[in-house]
Amino acid sequence: EAGVAQSPRYKIIEKRQSVAFWCNPISGHATLYWYQQILGQGPKLLIQFQNNGVVDDSQLPKDRFSAERLKGVDSTLKIQPAKLEDSAVYLCASRPGTGAGGETQYFGPGTRLLVL
């Protein structure tokens, strides 16, 4: 079974530029999460999707961050415009949601963003 895929793996941009990250969850996983992991900290939830609907985006800085999961499969996370403090690893995770072990989240390799 293929894992959660993310691209790009690394991105360097200048402040005020835009950037987009892509995530392909494990096949059949209805729930998808985007996390921000700042160096030296644990991941912090940005947004959660259930199929193509948003379940929780309370910690998403909506003035600059946006995310979508139009067909309930792949998802994109965008930052526009980026700030220095957005430098972090952006993790995508997915969860089956049903059955034994359905509560476990499976993580992708992350996209490491550096804003200069």
Partner 1 sequence: AQTVTQSQPEMSVQEAETVTLSCTYDTSESDYYLFWYKQPPSRQMILVIRQEAYKQQNATENRFSVNFQKAAKSFSLKISDSQLGDAAMYFCAYRTYNNNDMRFGAGTRLTVKP
| Footprint of partner 1 (CB under 8 A) | 3-4, 31, 33, 40-45, 48, 55-56, 91, 103-110
- The set of residues, in sequence order, having a beta carbon less than 8 Å from that of 98 and lying 6+ positions away, is none
Give 116: exposed, middle or buried? Use CB within 10 Å, 0-12, 13-18, 19+: exposed
Helix extents (H) in 1-116: none
Q: Which is nearer to partner 1, 40 or 99 (by Cβ)?
A: 40
Q: Whole-number minimum distance, CB 23 to partner 1, in Å?
A: 12
Q: Which is nearer to partner 1, 19 or 92 (by Cβ)?
A: 92
Cβ(86)–Cβ(80) below 8 Å? no
Q: Whole-number minimum distance, CB 82 to partner 1, in Å?
A: 22
- The set of residues, in sequence order, having a beta carbon less than 8 Å from that of 20 and lying 6+ positions away, is 76, 77, 78, 79
Q: Which is nearer to partner 1, 22 or 106 (by Cβ)?
A: 106
Q: Whole-number minimum distance, CB 35 to partner 1, in Å?
A: 8
Q: Whole-number minimum distance, CB 102 to partner 1, in Å?
A: 11
